[in-house]
Each structure stands twice: as C-alpha cells, then as structure tokens.
C-alpha cells in the first residue's frame, strides 16, 4: 500500500466514524423524543482515568471507573434498570460540567440530582451520610458507622463504600481507616489518593 492509498483509507475510516457518531446522536435524540430512552451514558476524560457516567430521567445513577469494566457496568444497568440504554451525551452535560469543575478544584459540592435505586438498606443509609464528611476532610469507617446509626457495623460501612454506584459524586473516597491509612477504594488506591490530594490542595 502506498502513502496515497493509506491516506484515502484513513479518510474513509474517519468518514465512517463521523457517520456512526452522527447516527448515534440522531438515534439518541429520537429515543428521547419518543420517551424510550431510559438510561443515557457517556464517557468522560478525568485525572483518575476515563469515567463512565449514566443517568435516568430521575438523575445520575452511575459513575464507573475503567477498572470496573465499562461494558460490564452497562450490562448491569441494562439488567437492573432497563435495556433501553444508549450513548446519549447531551443528557449528561450537567454531570460532565460539574465533574470537570470538581477536578479543576472550583467545585466542592455536587448539585446534580441523583437516582439512588442501585443502593438499598444499610448501604444506602451509609451513602446518604457521606456528604456529612466535608470537602477536604476524612472520616474513619467507625465514625461513618456511628453517623449511620450502627456503631458496630464498621465492615458493613466498608462494603457500602466498596459498592458505591456513584463514586466521586458521593464521596466514599473520604472514608479512611482509623489509623489514617487509605483503605481500599473501588477506583484504586492511586485514584483515592489523587482525590484526597486534590481536595486538600483546594
């Protein structure tokens, strides 16, 4: 293959990608107009790596790190929420803007509505209390267990944080061990450290 043929092939691939992108956008608009788009998603570039964000008409339902396997996350959403799921970035514009502002250090609290249906019971109780840990601060798993009304449920707090469907937005990264050690994090220890350092710097 000579250079000219190679360039033509690249142009063809780019044209096909543009057509596919345009088709997806039209499909998303049509699905939303017809009321058959139950879950919209997009992937954002972030300092912690690509984040998949998904929303229903009720609000943001999922934030997922790449290490969680975005394809698997989409399948879980299809199974647990609705199979009517599409790449529809426009519905996630507000979430994308607020996350960008957070990573830029100009936002400390998120205002976007949340769809909490992927958490229930004590896990949901724990997650609803995490906003009480202020920006730039941390709390131990034991302290969060007390906040949630079950002082002995330290392990259950760890499980709630490890299965948080809305990391970053619902700040499970602010929960650390009693000795000050990081503890685990579904986005990985490096991501947790980056988020805590970002907040401490601001």
Does residue 109 sit within a domain?
no
Q: Name the domain boundary from 47, 78, 104.
A: 104
Does residue 59 sit within a domain?
yes
Residue span of the structural domain in which 46 resides: 3-104
Q: Name the domain boundary from 49, 78, 104.
A: 104
User: Does 127 lie in the same domain as 86?
Assistant: no
Residues 6+ positions from 58 with CB-CB distance below 8 Å: 113, 115, 117
- 8 Å CB contact between 37 and 84: yes
Pairing of strands 39-44, 85-87: parallel
Does residue 33 sit within a domain?
yes
User: Does 78 lie in the same domain as 35?
Assistant: yes
pLDDT tens for the chain, 202 residues long, are: 554 554 445 445 555 555 555 555 565 555 566 566 999 999 999 999 999 999 999 999 999 999 999 999 999 999 999 999 999 999 999 999 999 999 999 999 999 999 999 999 999 999 999 999 999 999 999 999 999 999 999 999 999 999 999 999 999 999 999 888 888 899 999 999 999 999 999 8
Choosing from 139, 172, 196, 198, the catalytic residue is 172
Does residue 129 sit within a domain?
yes
User: In the chain, what are the helix, strand and coil shares in percent, each to the nearest 5?
Assistant: 50, 10, 35
Residue 6: CB atoms within 10 Å = 10
- 8 Å CB contact between 202 and 194: no
pTM: 0.82
172 is catalytic: yes
CA-to-CA distance for 195 and 150, rounded, in angstroms? 27
- How many domains are there within the chain? 2
Q: Name the domain boundary from 47, 74, 104.
A: 104
């Amino acid at each position: 293959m000579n250079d000219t043929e190679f360039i033509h092939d690249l142009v063809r691939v780019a044209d096909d990608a543009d057509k596919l992108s345009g088709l997806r956008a039209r499909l998303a608009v049509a699905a939303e107009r017809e009321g058959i788009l139950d879950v919209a998603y997009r992937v954002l570039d972030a300092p912690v790596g690509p984040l998949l964000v998904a929303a229903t008409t009720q609000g943001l339902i999922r934030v997922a790190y790449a290490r969680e396997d975005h394809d698997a996350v989409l399948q879980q959403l299809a199974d647990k929420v609705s199979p009517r799921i599409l790449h529809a970035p426009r519905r996630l514009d507000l979430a994308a803007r607020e996350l960008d502002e957070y990573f830029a250090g100009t936002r400390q609290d998120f205002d976007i509505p949340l769809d909490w249906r992927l958490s229930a019971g004590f896990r949901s109780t724990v997650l609803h209390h995490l906003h009480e840990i202020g920006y730039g601060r941390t709390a131990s798993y034991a302290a969060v267990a007390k906040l949630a009304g079950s002082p002995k449920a330290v392990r259950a707090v760890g499980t709630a944080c490890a299965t948080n469907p809305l990391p970053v937005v619902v700040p499970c990264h602010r929960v650390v061990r009693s000795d000050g050690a990081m503890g685990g994090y579904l986005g990985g220890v490096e991501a947790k450290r980056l988020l805590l350092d970002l907040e401490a710097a601001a």
